[in-house]
Amino acid sequence: MQKYKSLVLLMLGIIGLGGCSDNGDASFENAQIKLSLSSVMCVEGTPSTTDIMSYKTLISGDTIVKEDNNATVVIYHDINGVKKVCLLDNNASAYILR
């Protein structure tokens, strides 16, 4: 009998806790990370493969945001579909919203 009481109490506890809700406040579904491009300056002239590898990698869903109208962002595509991004003017600012 004691075994059944414990089982029933355990089930009621689980059901009771399952009813608790934080109204989505702790959800990370829409969380975003802001990655600055101010430290990722494009190399003047023709960049080498090593230069391009040092640029920030874009992933699906990323959004590039220019904080200044004069910001110029350059995107390089490699043969594998990887996109790398850098900022052309160090007096401007932009970031990746991920």
Q: Residue 89 burial by CB count (10 A; 0-12/13-18/19+): exposed, middle or buried?
A: middle
**Residue of 3 and 63 predicted with greater confidence:** 63
First CA to last CA distance, the chain: 55
Q: What is the pLDDT of residue 12?
A: 47
Q: Confirm whether 22 is domain-assigned.
A: no
Q: Confirm whether 92 is domain-assigned.
A: yes
The percentage of residues in the chain with a pLDDT greater than 90, rounded to a whole number, is: 59
pLDDT, tens digit (0-9, with 9 covering 90-100), for 21-49: 455 555 556 779 999 999 999 999 999 99
What range defines the domain where residue 77 resides? 32-98
Q: How many domains does the chain have?
A: 1
Identify whether the C-beta of residue 86 lies closer than 8 Å to the C-beta of residue 56: yes
